[in-house]
Structure 1
Amino acid sequence: MKRCAFLSMASLEKFVCYDALLHAPLKRYGWHAETVDWRDNSIDWNQFDAVIIRSCWDYQNNPAQFLAVLATIENSRANLANSLEVVRWNLSKIYLRDLEAKGIPIVPTEWFHGLDVAALPPLFTHWQTPEIIIKPVISACADDTFRLTPTALTQQAKTLATLFQERDCMVQPFIPVIVTEGEYSLFFFGDEYSHTILKTPKSGDFRVQEEHGGQLQSVEPEAILLELSRAALAAIPEPTLYARVDWVRTDNGFALMELELIEPSLYFNMDAASAERFARVFAAGYFRGSKALRFVSAHT
């Protein structure tokens, strides 16, 4: 039986994770899966046939170390999914600029290399919005994400200046429909569409993650969401084993929130066939290209 590692963090005690639902279907395809801590320097990656990046929900605290570990894995005999090239491209949310340049609609965004707080008040008028969102370009789990009115911006100016003094960050208008309707997530394994969920925040919050009280429901995506998602996937540097595409409805149509290719929750609990779908795509070699060919030829 071939060995597969799920790259995770030391403790998932404060998180909701559904990757264990993959164990049984992977076993049916001849794979034994186990969860390992990405920060464990004692691991010999050559003992694995494949390593799948999964619940590394603390990588944003040390992205350089994270990339170094992935480089070690990619240089071992193990096949890394998604690839190091994809991760490097997707690590910073600046990738959204690449997608926008290719015609993918995104939420209007201003980018800062070291935050100039004085540049923020005019954005309320520029976007005709009563609230803005500010967050690091390298982030996960809504860490260091602020929803601000002009008054709150004044009150937290010193905190923001200190927090983002030497960090790249992004500022967007707050999209109220995130609270009233929610955020749509579409899941793809290889080039195969899997399922869609709608995530809505708890009352009084704007964060849709379950860890923050967000609620989930399975939905059928509108045709335009599938079309836009496939266009976004086509812009990725390499084909991927998995992708999650997050959208929000705006007055001008759907806008991309994020294209998650590193450690998105894939919500196998929300679609009974999704774990089997993932396992089948993975066992088949998971994508075309040199890495996939090496994977298939070495392990079939």
Structure 2
Amino acid sequence: MGHTLSIPLLQKKKTPKVLFLTTEPPENIKAEWPFYQNWFLPQMIRERGAVVELRCWRDPDLDAASFSTYSSITFLWCNEYHQHPKDFPDFVRKVLVPAQRQNPSLHIFNDPTVVLWNTDKHYLLELVEAGYRVPRSKFVDVSQHTHASLTTIIKDFSHSTPLVLKPAISGSARNTHLIRDPRGFTSDDTAYLERVLAEGTNGELILQQYEEGISSGEYSLIFVNGQHTHTIMKIPQAGEYRCQGEYGGSTKEIAAADVPRCAADAAQQIWKFLESKVGKPENETSVWTGSPLVYARIDGIIKDDAFILMEIEAIEPHLWLEAGSGGEALEQLCSVFIPDRK
């Protein structure tokens, strides 16, 4: 009687199934932003063997069960999320987090706790407490104020030096205003205050000391998988305080050797600070599994040989993957979505 030879079957790894969340229907994004900076990323991941889908997180037909079928979900296409200051956090808490509980192998990039923390610029106060340098800031609930009381707060905050006003939940310098001299408001200053008092703001209103150094350029240090992969400098147009292209700003790549040591060191420490946020519950009753921190952009200026943090973008940052120096970051991102399948 012969012997039966038992040969274990090799398990073929499942094809990665990747979802890019969008705020607007995907077809609208290409129409509105044909040169969108992350446009080619889904296609590159698809070409490397993954199933890639783009779906609007506001689609009422999507629930936790449908999201749990993916191997990874990312916010990198989630522009304009801040236009939905209540619905977006609710979606993360009530849909994405339960999906991850249903499927513990589901990775969400970036981690939901980091994303929720990063939606509101109150996070800057935590960074100040942790010892990082941030422009002096004050948060004001405009719904509790009149024009007279808000004017008093502004003048008490900054007697004679310029200050920037912006919503705590915002992006791309939207609804941001520079008061150049709080001792005498211009008609534009008055109109801005009247508008925020009448219409409100997404989150509280931030009063922030204006940093003159922004005119020399703002460093954007890009991190992927814990590595500082490349750096871009954003430069405002002469006479402008906003760096974004829609306000005439320009950009240039900064060689690694030319990045100020104080900026590189501070940004690396800030990345570690972000990592400490991964998977931490918001309260004692919530327990989250968490996903690795994958990407972030850390923006700041140099003042008195020190790095001044302006903001952290860890939800849907422009990572300048299209830049000549962005190749390493692009490879790192692709490896996250398509791990070794041997």
After TM superposition, give the deviation of residue 186 of structure 1 in Å.
0.7
Instruction: Provide Cα deviations, 1:258-300, integer angstroms capped at 9, x if missing partner.
Output: 1111111111111341311221244449xxxxxxxxxxxxx98
Larger CA deviation: 207-216 vs 138-147 = 207-216
Q: Normalized per residue, which structure has more strand?
A: 1
Code of the residue aligned with 2:92 in structure 1: it is: L
For residues 105 and 282 of structure 1, do their structure 2 counterparts lie closer, same or farther at Cα, with a shift above 3 Å needed? farther
Cα distance in 2 for residues equivalent to 1:195 and 1:64 = 33
Per the alignment, residue 46 of structure 1 pairs with 68
Cα distance in 2 for residues equivalent to 1:121 and 1:14 = 40
Cα distance in 2 for residues equivalent to 1:207 and 1:58 = 18
2:157 is the counterpart of 1:123? yes
Equivalent in 183, 199, 205 of residue 218 of structure 2 = 183
After TM superposition, give the deviation of residue 252 of structure 1 in Å.
6.1
SS at match of 1:110: strand
Structure 1 unmatched runs, 5+: 286-298
Per the alignment, residue 89 of structure 2 pairs with 67
For residues 202 and 42 of structure 1, do their structure 2 counterparts lie closer, same or farther at Cα, with a shift above 3 Å needed? farther
Equivalent in 204, 210, 232 of residue 270 of structure 2 = 232
Per the alignment, residue 141 of structure 2 pairs with 113
Map residues 179-258 of structure 1 onto 2, 5 A cutoff. Answer: 179=215, 181-220=216-255, 221-236=259-274, 237-238=277-278, 239-251=292-304, 253-258=306-311
**What TM-score results when the alignment is normalised by the length of structure 2?**
0.75
After TM superposition, give the deviation of residue 69 of structure 1 in Å.
2.1
Cα distance in 1 for residues equivalent to 2:32 and 2:241 = 19
For residues 35 and 205 of structure 1, do their structure 2 counterparts lie closer, same or farther at Cα, with a shift above 3 Å needed? farther
Cα distance in 2 for residues equivalent to 1:104 and 1:178 = 18
Contact 2:120/2:203 (<8 A) preserved:
no
SS at match of 2:175: coil
- Higher Cα radius of gyration: 2
After TM superposition, give the deviation of residue 90 of structure 1 in Å.
1.3
Cα distance in 1 for residues equivalent to 2:98 and 2:47 = 28
Code of the residue aligned with 2:331 in structure 1: it is: E
Code of the residue aligned with 1:67 in structure 2: it is: P
Cα distance in 1 for residues equivalent to 2:129 and 2:309 = 13
After TM superposition, give the deviation of residue 184 of structure 1 in Å.
0.7
After TM superposition, give the deviation of residue 38 of structure 1 in Å.
2.0
Larger CA deviation: 148-157 vs 116-125 = 148-157
Code of the residue aligned with 1:119 in structure 2: it is: I
Map residues 26-37 of structure 1 onto 2, 5 A cutoff. Answer: 26-27=45-46, 29-37=48-56
Cα distance in 2 for residues equivalent to 1:242 and 1:188 = 5
2:168 is the counterpart of 1:134? no
For residues 205 and 165 of structure 1, do their structure 2 counterparts lie closer, same or farther at Cα, with a shift above 3 Å needed? closer
Larger CA deviation: 162-171 vs 43-52 = 162-171
Per the alignment, residue 264 of structure 1 pairs with 317
Cα distance in 1 for residues equivalent to 2:177 and 2:131 = 28
For residues 165 and 139 of structure 1, do their structure 2 counterparts lie closer, same or farther at Cα, with a shift above 3 Å needed? closer
SS at match of 1:63: coil
2:199 is the counterpart of 1:168? no
Per the alignment, residue 295 of structure 1 pairs with none
CA RMSD of aligned residues (A): 2.5
Cα distance in 1 for residues equivalent to 2:90 and 2:310 = 27
**What TM-score results when the alignment is normalised by the length of structure 1?**
0.84
Instruction: Provide Cα deviations, 1:113-154, integer angstroms capped at 9, x if missing partner.
Output: 2352321023333xx52x210011111121211111232334
Cα distance in 2 for residues equivalent to 1:56 and 1:253 = 32
Contact 1:96/1:106 (<8 A) preserved:
yes
SS at match of 1:240: coil
Code of the residue aligned with 2:313 in structure 1: it is: E
After TM superposition, give the deviation of residue 207 of structure 1 in Å.
2.0
Structure 2 unmatched runs, 5+: 1-14, 279-291
Cα distance in 1 for residues equivalent to 2:67 and 2:301 = 39
2:307 is the counterpart of 1:279? no
Contact 1:22/1:276 (<8 A) preserved:
no
Cα distance in 2 for residues equivalent to 1:197 and 1:281 = 23
Cα distance in 1 for residues equivalent to 2:212 and 2:176 = 16
